[in-house]
Structure 1
């Protein structure tokens, strides 16, 4: 196929007609080559690429972005994977053809992650993404071997759970001057909701008569917009509310009707037209509870119920975990009173 010269720019370009994966006729034009031979070389590479389709000669970076394009990932997960690729994976594998990656390179990369990431769980997350791309290449890019085979997985390390008890919580939260923040903290403590779920709560999600709150979406803190789904599919649920929270929300609803112009049930429970500023809210929580994050209120909710002997399967449903294993692994050590009760069997 001939290469052309653009008389206006004095640059070379190529124009190729080809058939795509679905057999449809397409045309590829690429401009901006300073030399004719560079345009011809680029044209030749493109023809080979079309001819052979997906190939293990593609760079890891090309496979990585194709993996993102064809994998159903939520916006937050997509941003995290791109961040991890840019900051950790790219410098090791970005320009290497996926078929040229060796087991020794994978082993060296695993060591790098363990030694350089801020936590072992972060290292494990990045390693999992890397292996997922390799698996994708084996499925779609004719990669015949898995260079990760034989390289040990990075183990998950159980982090220490930080929480406050009910008495400590109320003692601290009463010191807050910001009533909206106070109400939001109480809501999180008595529902076990995540920060994004609480920020994205609308009045239409609250049923004060049934004493239930509907969890079906979350506020995307980074993008500052509503995501029409919570963290996971298992997070969608109706949660019961205790009397103390129902009374708080009834008061807040009546106050909001008086204070907010054009008030309606599609407004945010904690903020009205918009939810609170996440950064400012987090600083307030840190000052109030220096030993926990806002997520620690979720742990506080769970630990309180566990300590009171709440059935582990009910606790799983209230926390909206995808499996009972997650609940058991995280919270069974809080069932101290139940363990002591078990000792009574020996006294009978």
Structure 2
């Protein structure tokens, strides 16, 4: 324990305490209101009392305990995301606030500032805004469940969003454009990968995690059980529970995979656990994609746009949203939030089907 006078004339304290997980942590505080050693000593005593009951004084102490706990319960990429959201969007407002003094009014003011915030000149999407608010709410909920606060200031909080605008972010590549593009791709690995993304609708990480034993050419299926995380360069579990699935391949994809396997057999030795498309950096993949787009003179698109385009193919072929969602590894609710505009006639088709049933009675 230590109380010292700062260069600014007021006092600061530094104490070591045990957090709720039993870890020894150092707490340092200074306050312009601590104009005497006695005031600083009283504040020091408050800190020690609060930690003797494992009750954080400041929001930053709650965040430390919560994020440390999540590190043990979620994937590394998810934990990293929570930490990044806290550092960039939550800590600047709440880190030095007393946990017991944060009210719903503070939450509302924070939400207002969140709507005005931007990154590199671009405002955050509604999906990003929802995620940021979800993490803050989760922290307070965790604090309430562990008796760190008497009331949860986010209990009545509603997620704020920007006014919904037409989604122009999805770039759809029609079959003619894809054929024009794929004709200039002269690398068999990339050529096969693009066909898998376009005709099977896989996420890029799912495709990069495919091993030879995940591909059944005889039964023309792909088995999706994992995904590749480019940031951490590791194989992890799929994005969601629905992401684990079996995808039927059209003949054109089977044909490209057969050619790729023959290409490998003529040149390399590999086992069934090897990744089919190798280990490539996202930067390299993006650079190669841009080069072939420019060469083919089609409109610019990203890897994920091939997945969007695959959904468009299903919609144009007459499949309903439930069938498409199952193939893409989505639950129907989430699928309709992202792709519902591609299935405008689903409700009309249902109504017509019910009319036909009624008329046949």
Equivalent position to 1:119, from 107, 124, 141: 124
State the Cα deviation string for residues 212-245 of structure 1 (Å, max 9, x = none): 1111111110011222x11112211111111111
Give, in angstroms, the shift of residue 105 of structure 1. Answer: 2.0
* SS of match in other structure, 2:202: coil
8 A Cα contact 2:199 2:310, kept in partner: yes
Give, in angstroms, the shift of residue 49 of structure 1. Answer: 4.1
Partner of 1:270: 277
Partner of 1:8: none
8 A Cα contact 1:98 1:137, kept in partner: no
In structure 1, how many angstroms separate the alpha carbons of the residues matched to 2:173 and 2:66?
42
Partner of 1:279: 283
5+ residue gaps, structure 1, are 4-12, 31-36
State the Cα deviation string for residues 60-91 of structure 1 (Å, max 9, x = none): 12212322233432222221221121122111
Partner of 1:308: 317
State the Cα deviation string for residues 172-203 of structure 1 (Å, max 9, x = none): 12112333212111111111111111112111
* SS of match in other structure, 1:295: helix
TM-score, normalised to structure 1, is 0.79
Q: Pairwise CA RMSD of aligned residues?
A: 3.7
8 A Cα contact 1:114 1:120, kept in partner: no
State the Cα deviation string for residues 325-347 of structure 1 (Å, max 9, x = none): 2223433433468769988999x
8 A Cα contact 2:20 2:65, kept in partner: no
Does 1:318 find its partner at 2:327?
Answer: yes
Does 1:247 find its partner at 2:278?
Answer: no
In structure 1, how many angstroms separate the alpha carbons of the residues matched to 2:143 and 2:350?
54
In structure 2, how many angstroms separate the alpha carbons of the residues matched to 1:270 and 1:312?
30
CA separation of 1:342 and 1:174: change in aligned 2, threshold 3 A: farther
CA separation of 1:165 and 1:340: change in aligned 2, threshold 3 A: farther
State the Cα deviation string for residues 306-336 of structure 1 (Å, max 9, x = none): 1111133221210111x22222343343346
1:69-218 matches, cutoff 5 A? 69-71=68-70, 72-117=73-118, 118-121=123-126, 122-148=128-154, 151-155=157-161, 157=164, 159-160=167-168, 161-218=170-227
Give the count of matched residue pairs.
321
In structure 1, how many angstroms separate the alpha carbons of the residues matched to 2:188 and 2:77?
30
CA separation of 1:181 and 1:82: change in aligned 2, threshold 3 A: same
CA separation of 1:168 and 1:324: change in aligned 2, threshold 3 A: same
In structure 2, how many angstroms separate the alpha carbons of the residues matched to 1:120 and 1:320?
23
5+ residue gaps, structure 2, are 3-13, 27-37
Partner of 2:67: 68
Give, in angstroms, the shift of residue 296 of structure 1. Answer: 0.9
State the Cα deviation string for residues 27-52 of structure 1 (Å, max 9, x = none): 9698xxxxxx9xx9998567524532
TM-score, normalised to structure 2, is 0.76
